[in-house]
Chains A and B, each alone.
Chain A
Amino acid sequence: MTETETDTEAETTTIDGDEYVAVAGTDEIPDGRGIAVDVGGIEVAVFNADGEFYAIGNRCAHQRAPLCQAGSEKINADHTWTKTRGRVDAEECTVSCPWHLWKFDLETGLNEASGKRVASFDAAERDGTVYVHI
């Protein structure tokens, strides 16, 4: 059981004693997609993986591709097999980069093959709002 206290004016909420900042409404991040937000100068990508929300650094550890684009539609997608540039995999809890398919764990930010990682942040959903703790 977590303890939640919401401060609507500052658009923050406190969860288990930590301050979380509101980043989007849940309906603004479709399932299998992500958005990018600047929180205090930090680029954060927030993903919806089958109703669970995750937050990691937005820039790929390889070549700084915007990870938030994972799951965006390819050009002439109907003539390709996977249809999307990279993707969010809810079952594996991973996101693959839209440029080179580097795969990152959504909870830890780790790319297992290289051992490199992007930052990971706690994310939570409360009453239709997605919050991130930096």
Chain B
Amino acid sequence: MESSIQRLDPDAEVPEEAYDVDVVDLDFHVNPRQEDLKAYVEDDRALDRLSTEFGMWPIPDKWDAAYAIDEGNEGLFTQGRAEVAEDVYEACERFAIDEPIVNAAINGLPHQHHPVLKNAVLHAGNSYMLDHFVDEGVPTALSIPKWDVDAALAELDRWGDEDGVVAVYSWFDPREPWGVEEFDPVFEKLESLGLPLLLHGSLAFWPQHSYIGDEMLTWTEVLGFDWPIHTMVNAVNMIMRGVFDKYPDLNVVFQEGGHWWIPFLRYRMDEFYEMHPEDVQITPRKFESGEHYLQRSPSEALRDNIYVCTQPMALPRNSTEASSMLELSMASDTFCYSSDWPHQTLDPPTWFFTNRAFTQDQELRDDVLSNNAREILRL
């Protein structure tokens, strides 16, 4: 039929201007299927146990994000699931993403019990990613286990200098924080390889066996706030324990840990440290080096070495308020855009073209959308 009205392009999902700007997505999840991963499990004994009637993940959760949304566990795949490079390109075209940094997102691993089986699955996931993404030219973040430093170093030895591996992916969780000295060999290796460490939230939070955790009954509490709280704990732990004095070229990116807490840390860390600096000398790294104080103020380390992914942006609608928060958060130095594709928490790059905090400050927009990420990734 003829019509005087205009039919709109159904594929135009984000503002047209987004296609004219460089967009690097620092958290794009690929979801290999279990049967595909099993083909990459090299040890027959591990494969045998991973193929029992219990499957790969025999530990039941106490609580599940599925309660929080209408489609239950499908929230993990609200946009679908990328299994090969072509799937990633298709999704990126829809959301004007130029450079997706893909990861295998096996975020249930830290939550699992058995170290040998966990390592076998992690190893298989990296092999899958090497075959299907690195070799296809998709910039990739491969995974290292937090629970096994030797295995982490073995993984880095296996693929750390591969072209196309642009970052290393691991997790923060309710267990020991990343400032602990046992991680030093990993930090040293990452510095020498020139690879940033991406730390993603882990499902290890979700069946929490703690008084506070057990009383968290909503996704808003767990994902919205427990993850950022533990991100803060890890960031402060790394800074105050001297990680970035010992490894000044190490860059750490927290993913899905929130970002608006940066002003709080920035000012509170400096205030507290300047008032109470004498215990730094007896933290293990400083004790060993004989240094008395941190080499930089805590907020300088925060600005120089720590980055945060923006998803979900949660930007104030009022652009003046948004600009103030971005300034206080040192966003031009610390924020990196991330979509979290394909999850229900997806954050397409719309804010950058609809809020005057970005449309009137294109330098800031470009820093967040791509410059900061390109500065630290081994692209």
Contacts and interface: CB of A to CB of B under 8 A. Distances in A.
Interface string A38-58: 110001000000000000001
A79 B33 contact: yes
Interface residues of A, number: 37
A76 B80 CA distance: 6
B70 A63 contact: no
A103 to B, nearest CB: 6
Nearest to A34: B10
A72 B80 CA distance: 11
A10 interface: yes
Given A22-B3, A74-B79, A38 B346 contact: no
B348 interface: yes
B90 A75 contact: yes
Given A10-B4, A11-B2, A68-B10, A99 B33 contact: no
A81 B74 contact: yes
B91 interface: yes
Given A35-B10, A37-B6, A85-B79, A99 B348 contact: yes
Indicate the size class of the contact surface on chain B. 35 or more
Interface in B287-311: none
Interface of B: 1-8, 10, 12-13, 33, 69-71, 73-75, 77-83, 87, 90-91, 342, 344-348, 350-351, 354
27 contacts: A11-B3, A11-B4, A11-B5, A22-B1, A22-B5, A24-B1, A25-B1, A36-B10, A37-B7, A38-B6, A58-B8, A64-B354, A74-B80, A74-B342, A75-B80, A75-B82, A75-B90, A76-B80, A77-B80, A81-B73, A99-B78, A99-B346, A99-B348, A100-B344, A101-B71, A101-B78, A101-B344
Interface of A: 10-11, 21-25, 35-39, 43, 58, 63-66, 68-69, 72-77, 79-82, 85, 96, 99-101, 103, 129
